[in-house]
């Protein structure tokens, strides 16, 4: 029947509504959940032979429809919801949602379930209209909570009340973790994000959970509930939709939250709402429990008593909307919807989406011009009542309503099928996640509602089947996505068998993989068992215990094999794990002495007693031999004989510092060392550098990693991650300030400014600087080294930069960090070498063997322009072309570096000159030696002393040059030039 006929029937019935309560008996069956109210109503309807029942949820309506048609037959039962209509030719029973109850059908029996929803802010006015005005010709039942008794008694004179006690007891069990909830529990949340989070947590802990939300389609919700009812999963995560009559075998209800958004604001649940939800626990004669979990706080004692005793405050006000509407004009309709009730206990409902849409089209001149007759107004109101399932925005919903009215009031009076098909095509995509699919289903529900209006489309039956097909496909894919994400069937099945005390078949393959009942659950790695990532939950003790029972024999056999394995099969990684066959079987920890760490066994608890001690002894022997092999110089230094006093103390300090010791820390001890002590230490591999005292042999990568590991375990206990040392081959790196103090020292680096320089390269740099800082000519003709400055200063030369691998700016910061200071000074500008007028080309034979690559010139940016070069040696040029004398050099500003008063290059006070002829304090005066003459020669000493004779040696024969040598050709060329 068309929507116009329904509205006309409502107007016709309104004239007789006042007499209905008097001549037609009404019975209210009120009480808590699990009292069998809905079951009683179904039985009464079947006893009458004809009847209608209005239910609060589409899902519940489908459940009752399936139950009745199994008893009465498919052709006897009709199902009518906002999005689904199954109507046989002559049905006797009508199962509907309350909103979709046909107003023009009279039946002997009529029932309305969950009448306490009359107080709901969003849907309450519809329930109120049905409760006050819909009656069966013989019997009317109102089913709901006991809180409705006072208001129904006042609004419906002569109503008869029946109370039914709860069939089972409901008990509060307090607050529990999600992982501790009992089997067959329903966890209630109020947002999609919280539902997903709780379901994901339960999947990791207990194998999975079914998910029920209002955003899901009935098909998806039915499939999820079926998973729970069948026992495939033991947990259900749902919104408060389960509180409305869904019959499931729930033993415990846990509130993950006690606040929700009711469409207007976030608020706490009231006691009646919590009682409706908690009452889902316990079916028939089985007692139920309820409690809180996750983010919910524990309930106070008063609320607990209300929930356990089902004593709640009565409902005082019902939502109401005027049903006597004025369809003469849009404006008259809008005004009639704003009327207030005249009876106590009723309040005008807030404007819902249909009223807001009507107000919007009343302001649209294009729409008001199309609507002229009473029938047009009634049809426009029908369009405004299209539910906003899409929930995009109020403006978008108004746009949809406007478009539909334009189609229905112009052209042929039907919605354009091309437009409808395009809108529907946007929802046909089956790709995407859970939220995306749920959004597409909500869009399809809008088009399904429109397709079920028989007079809106030219081919309504086709579009009804088309929308149902798309919704079913989306629902199936959504159910599959939910199952994949929130249910681990393997773990769930295994846990069920464990709960039933069934034996599990376990086998282990050659690769160490463990299979329980044919399902992979983990693998043996080394001497431990690791559960698969899908099953590795801390609370999954039963599954792990079943697996461990099967791998005990394998672990004991591996322990025996490890105890006999050679050192070549074991390896120590940079984090301190002892590896065997690619897996960790032990871990190094700090011992009582720096060079003697201890080994711990990494194995399952099943490896105990002598077997575990045997493995530990084997790992300890390997570890000690490995450390002694790589750090042999340190052990020799520790055990060297002949060390006394300062030498023994220095050796101890080097062992304690793991072979790298800053010199400034032991400056006084170094001064006190005698030359013999220094010699003994050098003989044991110790190098005394200007900045560091170290053992060069232990700066190799393998030894460095081990020294770093020993130092880290001794000084940073409890920290698992060890930073990586600088890459091999780099002479300097940028210093990381976040690394712990001493880290770079153990790696063989010293921090200089913003860079860390390798200590051996730093000592080579100090040698270069020393040659310049303390340069003093011994003879007047001695050549000055390049870069040296009189008075102890020097300028930077490219050799220094390349030695430490840094730029000029970085090197300047490095020098400052080493204790040097810069000074600007005028010095001669470097002169370029004169060009040779007639270059000589020398042909050299190709040398045998590999030839070294030429060294590339340093980049121009790194070469200091103020370098003071030494004398340039120029090869001889032909005498005919003389080279003119160089003009006076040009002076320029140069950065000269000078040592400060501290550090190894500090200026030393000069000694006062000793008077001529005066011996030094530690020297004895020499007595003159007698002289005598023998022949023409004079000798010193005693006259009788024998004069040694030097026999004349024959001239050494010249060795012939290799004719293939390039040096032979070069010598020949020089002889040829002399001759010319």
Which phi and psi (to 5°) does residue 908 adopt?
Answer: -100, 140
Whether the CB-CB separation of 482 and 211 falls below 8 Å is answered with yes
Which region holds residue 876: left if phi is over 0, alpha if psi is between -120 and 50, else beta?
Answer: beta
Angstrom distances, CA of residue 937 to CA of 932, 940, 946 = 9, 10, 14
Residues in contact with 554: Cβ distance below 8 Å, sequence separation at least 6, in sequence order: 508, 512, 524
Whether the CB-CB separation of 253 and 259 falls below 8 Å is answered with no
How many other C-beta atoms can be found within 10 angstroms of the C-beta atom of residue 32?
A: 23
Tell me what pLDDT residue 865 has: 35
Tell me what pLDDT residue 292 has: 92
458 alpha carbon, distance to own chain's centre: 54
Among 369-383, 724-738, 920-934, where is mean pLDDT lowest?
A: 920-934
Tell me what pLDDT residue 860 has: 35
* The dihedral sign for the CA sequence 719, 721, 723, 725: positive
CA angle 728, 731, 736 (to 5 degrees): 85
Using pLDDT thresholds of 50, 70 and 90, give the confidence band for residue 19: very low
Whether the CB-CB separation of 254 and 292 falls below 8 Å is answered with yes
Tell me what pLDDT residue 885 has: 55
CA angle 892, 898, 902 (to 5 degrees): 165
Tell me what pLDDT residue 797 has: 82
Which phi and psi (to 5°) does residue 591 adopt?
Answer: -100, -170
Among 355-359, 434-438, 862-866, 923-927, where is mean pLDDT lowest?
A: 862-866
Whether the CB-CB separation of 37 and 247 falls below 8 Å is answered with no
Query: Average of pLDDT values for 342-351?
Result: 91
Tell me what pLDDT residue 109 has: 95
Using pLDDT thresholds of 50, 70 and 90, give the confidence band for residue 925: low
Looking at the predicted structure, is the pLDDT value of residue 414 above 80? Answer: yes
Spatial separation of the C-alpha atoms in residues 296 and 640, rounded to whole Å: 69
Spatial separation of the C-alpha atoms in residues 428 and 424, rounded to whole Å: 7
DSSP code of 765?
H
* The dihedral sign for the CA sequence 572, 573, 578, 582: negative
DSSP code of 19?
G
Burial degree of 99 (CB within 10 A; 0-12, 13-18, 19+): middle
Residues in contact with 162: Cβ distance below 8 Å, sequence separation at least 6, in sequence order: 27, 28, 29, 30
Tell me what pLDDT residue 16 has: 34
Residue pLDDT, tens place only, 244-284: 656 778 899 999 988 888 777 788 888 888 888 888 888 77
How many other C-beta atoms can be found within 10 angstroms of the C-beta atom of residue 160?
A: 10
Looking at the predicted structure, is the pLDDT value of residue 617 above 60? Answer: yes
Using pLDDT thresholds of 50, 70 and 90, give the confidence band for residue 957: low
Among 224-228, 495-499, 559-563, 701-705, where is mean pLDDT lowest?
A: 495-499
Residue pLDDT, tens place only, 23-71: 578 999 998 888 888 999 999 999 999 999 999 988 788 889 999 999 9
Looking at the predicted structure, is the pLDDT value of residue 538 above 50? Answer: no
Spatial separation of the C-alpha atoms in residues 379 and 376, rounded to whole Å: 5
Residues in contact with 328: Cβ distance below 8 Å, sequence separation at least 6, in sequence order: 374, 377
Whether the CB-CB separation of 83 and 61 falls below 8 Å is answered with no
CA angle 648, 651, 657 (to 5 degrees): 140
Tell me what pLDDT residue 640 has: 77
How many other C-beta atoms can be found within 10 angstroms of the C-beta atom of residue 156?
A: 17
Whether the CB-CB separation of 188 and 211 falls below 8 Å is answered with no
* The dihedral sign for the CA sequence 546, 548, 549, 551: positive
Spatial separation of the C-alpha atoms in residues 167 and 286, rounded to whole Å: 8
DSSP code of 281?
B
Spatial separation of the C-alpha atoms in residues 593 and 588, rounded to whole Å: 13
* Residue closest to 269 by CA, chosen among 32, 261, 236: 261
Neighbour-count burial for 287-312, b at 16+ CB within 10 Å, e otherwise: ebbbbbbbebeebeeebbebbeebeb
Q: Which residue has the higher pLDDT, 232 or 778?
A: 232
Residue pLDDT, tens place only, 856-884: 333 333 333 333 334 334 344 444 444 55
* The dihedral sign for the CA sequence 504, 505, 509, 515: negative
Q: Give the residues across from 268 on adjacent strands.
A: 259
* Residue closest to 834 by CA, chosen among 864, 869, 872: 872
Query: Average of pLDDT values for 378-403?
Result: 90
Using pLDDT thresholds of 50, 70 and 90, give the confidence band for residue 142: very high
Residues in contact with 883: Cβ distance below 8 Å, sequence separation at least 6, in sequence order: 834, 874, 877
Looking at the predicted structure, is the pLDDT value of residue 373 above 80? Answer: yes
Tell me what pLDDT residue 509 has: 75
Whether the CB-CB separation of 866 and 827 falls below 8 Å is answered with yes
Spatial separation of the C-alpha atoms in residues 164 and 37, rounded to whole Å: 8
Among 160-164, 716-720, 788-792, 916-920, where is mean pLDDT lowest?
A: 916-920
Tell me what pLDDT residue 907 has: 54
Determine the angle formed by the axes of helices 58-72 and 218-230, rounding to 10 degrees.
70
Neighbour-count burial for 409-424, b at 16+ CB within 10 Å, e otherwise: beeeeebbeeebeebb
Looking at the predicted structure, is the pLDDT value of residue 124 above 70? Answer: yes
Tell me what pLDDT residue 25 has: 84
Looking at the predicted structure, is the pLDDT value of residue 222 above 60? Answer: yes
End-to-end CA distance of the chain: 130
* The dihedral sign for the CA sequence 15, 18, 19, 20: positive
* Residue closest to 633 by CA, chosen among 615, 609, 607, 660: 660
Looking at the predicted structure, is the pLDDT value of residue 916 above 60? Answer: no
Using DSSP, state whether 735 is helix, strand or coil: coil
Helix and strand numbers (H, E) in the chain are 31, 38
Q: Give the residues across from 593 on adjacent strands.
A: 596
**Where does 409-540 have alpha helices with state H?**
417-425, 434-451, 460-486, 489-499
Among 141-150, 204-213, 507-516, where is mean pLDDT lowest?
A: 507-516
Order the strands of the 692-694 sheet from edge to edge: 660-662, 692-694, 687-688
Looking at the predicted structure, is the pLDDT value of residue 384 above 90? Answer: yes
Spatial separation of the C-alpha atoms in residues 758 and 727, rounded to whole Å: 11
Looking at the predicted structure, is the pLDDT value of residue 595 above 70? Answer: yes
Which phi and psi (to 5°) does residue 252 adopt?
Answer: -145, 135
Query: Average of pLDDT values for 408-432?
Result: 90
Query: Average of pLDDT values for 844-859?
Result: 38
Spatial separation of the C-alpha atoms in residues 400 and 304, rounded to whole Å: 47
What is the pTM (predicted TM-score) of this model? 0.55
Using pLDDT thresholds of 50, 70 and 90, give the confidence band for residue 854: very low
Query: Average of pLDDT values for 922-945?
Result: 58
Query: Average of pLDDT values for 164-174?
Result: 86
Q: Give the residues across from 28 on adjacent strands.
A: 142, 161
Looking at the predicted structure, is the pLDDT value of residue 110 above 70? Answer: yes
Question: Around 298, how many Cα atoms within 13 Å sit in the side-chain half-sphere?
Answer: 8
55 alpha carbon, distance to own chain's centre: 45
Question: How high does pLDDT run on average in the chain?
Answer: 80
980 alpha carbon, distance to own chain's centre: 83
Looking at the predicted structure, is the pLDDT value of residue 126 above 60? Answer: yes
Query: Average of pLDDT values for 607-621?
Result: 91
Q: Which residue has the higher pLDDT, 154 or 720?
A: 154
* Residue closest to 237 by CA, chosen among 186, 184, 289: 186
Q: Give the residues across from 144 on adjacent strands.
A: 30
């Amino acid at each position: 029947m068309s929507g116009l006929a329904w509205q006309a029937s409502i107007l016709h019935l309104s004239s007789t509504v006042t007499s209905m309560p008097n001549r037609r008996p009404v019975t209210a069956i009120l009480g808590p959940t699990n009292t069998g109210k809905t079951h009683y109503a179904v039985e009464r309807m079947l006893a009458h032979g004809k009847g209608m029942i209005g239910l609060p949820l589409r899902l519940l309506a489908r459940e009752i429809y399936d139950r009745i048609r199994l008893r009465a037959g498919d052709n006897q039962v009709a199902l009518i919801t906002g999005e689904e209509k199954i109507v046989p030719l002559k049905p006797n029973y009508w199962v509907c949602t309350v909103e979709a109850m046909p107003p023009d059908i009279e039946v002997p029996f009529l029932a309305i379930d969950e009448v306490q929803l009359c107080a709901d802010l969003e849907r309450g006015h519809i329930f109120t209209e049905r409760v006050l005005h819909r009656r069966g010709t013989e019997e009317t039942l109102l089913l709901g909570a006991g809180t409705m008794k006072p208001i129904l008694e006042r609004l419906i004179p002569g109503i008869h009340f029946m109370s039914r006690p709860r069939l089972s007891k409901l008990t509060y069990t307090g607050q529990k973790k999600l992982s501790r909830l009992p089997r067959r529990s329903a966890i209630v949340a109020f947002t999609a994000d919280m539902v997903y989070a709780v379901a994901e947590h339960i999947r990791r802990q207990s194998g999975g959970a079914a998910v029920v939300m209002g955003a899901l389609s009935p098909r998806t919700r039915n499939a999820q509930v079926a998973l729970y009812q069948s026992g495939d999963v033991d947990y259900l995560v749902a919104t408060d939709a389960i509180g409305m009559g869904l019959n499931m075998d729930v033993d415990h209800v846990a509130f993950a939250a006690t606040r929700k958004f009711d469409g207007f604001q976030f608020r706490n649940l009231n006691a009646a709402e919590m009682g409706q939800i908690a009452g889902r626990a316990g079916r028939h004669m089985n007692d139920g429990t309820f409690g809180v979990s996750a983010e919910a706080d524990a309930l106070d004692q008063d609320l607990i008593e209300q929930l356990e005793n089902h004593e709640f405050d009565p409902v005082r006000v019902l939502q109401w909307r005027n049903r006597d509407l004025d369809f003469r004009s849009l404006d008259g309709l809008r005004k009639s919807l704003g009327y207030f009730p005249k009876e106590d206990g009723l309040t005008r409902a807030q404007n819902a989406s249909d009223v807001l849409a009507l107000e919007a089209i009343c302001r649209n001149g294009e729409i008001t011009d199309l609507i002229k007759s009473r029938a047009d107004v009634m049809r426009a109101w029908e369009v405004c009542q299209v539910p906003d399932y899409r929930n995009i925005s109020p403006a978008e919903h108004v746009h949809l309503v406007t478009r539909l009215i334009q189609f229905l009031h112009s052209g042929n009076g039907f919605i354009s099928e091309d437009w409808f098909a395009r809108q529907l095509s946007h929802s046909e995509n089956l790709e995407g996640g859970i939220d995306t699919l749920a959004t597409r289903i909500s869009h399809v529900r809008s088009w399904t509602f429109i397709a079920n209006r028989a007079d809106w489309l030219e081919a309504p039956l086709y579009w009804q089947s088309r929308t149902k097909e798309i919704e079913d496909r989306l629902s199936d894919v959504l159910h599959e996505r939910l199952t994949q994400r929130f249910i681990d069937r393997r773990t769930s099945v295994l846990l069920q068998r464990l709960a039933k005390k069934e034996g599990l078949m376990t086998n282990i393959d050659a690769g160490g993989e463990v299979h329980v009942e044919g399902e992979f659950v983990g693998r043996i790695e080394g001497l431990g068992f690791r559960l698969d990532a899908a099953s590795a939950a801390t609370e999954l003790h039963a599954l792990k215990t079943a697996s461990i029972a099967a791998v005990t024999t394998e672990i004991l056999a591996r322990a025996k094999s490890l105890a006999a394995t050679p050192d070549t099969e074991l390896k120590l990684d940079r984090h301190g794990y002892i590896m065997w066959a690619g897996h960790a079987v032990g871990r190094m920890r700090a011992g009582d002495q720096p060079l003697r760490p201890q080994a711990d066994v990494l194995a399952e608890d099943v490896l105990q007693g002598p077997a575990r001690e045997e493995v530990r002894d084997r790992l300890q022997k390997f570890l000690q031999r490995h450390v002694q092999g790589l750090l042999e110089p340190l052990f020799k230094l520790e055990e060297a004989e002949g060390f006394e006093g300062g030498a023994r103390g220095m050796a101890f300090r080097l062992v304690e510092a793991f072979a790298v010791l800053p010199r400034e820390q032991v400056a006084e001890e170094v001064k006190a060392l005698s030359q013999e002590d220094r010699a003994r230490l050098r003989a044991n591999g110790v190098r005394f550098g200007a900045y560091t005292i170290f053992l060069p042999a232990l700066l190799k990568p393998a030894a460095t990693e081990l020294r770093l590991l020993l130092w880290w375990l001794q000084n940073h206990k409890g920290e698992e991650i060890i930073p990586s040392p600088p890459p091999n081959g780099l002479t300097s790196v940028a210093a990381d300030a976040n690394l712990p103090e001493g880290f770079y020292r153990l790696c063989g680096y010293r921090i200089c400014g913003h860079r860390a320089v390798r200590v051996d390269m730093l000592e080579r740099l100090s040698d270069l600087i020393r040659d310049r800082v303390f340069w003093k000519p011994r003879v007047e003709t001695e050549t000055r080294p390049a870069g040296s400055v009189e008075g102890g200063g020097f300028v930077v030369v490219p050799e220094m930069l390349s030695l430490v691998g840094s730029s000029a700016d970085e090197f300047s910061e490095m020098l400052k960090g080493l204790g040097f200071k810069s000074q600007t000074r005028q010095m001669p500008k470097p002169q370029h070498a004169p060009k040779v007028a007639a270059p000589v080309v020398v042909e050299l034979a190709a040398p045998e063997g590999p030839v070294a690559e030429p060294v590339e010139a340093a980049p121009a940016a790194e070469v200091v322009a103020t370098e003071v070069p030494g004398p340039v040696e120029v090869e001889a040029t032909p005498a005919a072309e003389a080279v003119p004398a160089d003009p006076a050099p040009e002076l320029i500003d140069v950065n000269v570096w000078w040592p400060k008063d501290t550090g190894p290059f500090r200026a030393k006070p000069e000694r006062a000159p000793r008077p001529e002829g005066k011996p030094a304090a530690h020297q004895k005066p020499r007595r003159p030696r007698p002289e005598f003459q023998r022949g023409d020669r004079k000798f010193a000493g005693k006259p009788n002393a024998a004069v040694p004779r030097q026999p004349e040696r024959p001239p050494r024969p010249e060795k012939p040059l290799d004719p293939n040598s390039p040096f032979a050709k070069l010598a020949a060329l020089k002889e040829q030039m002399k001759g010319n």
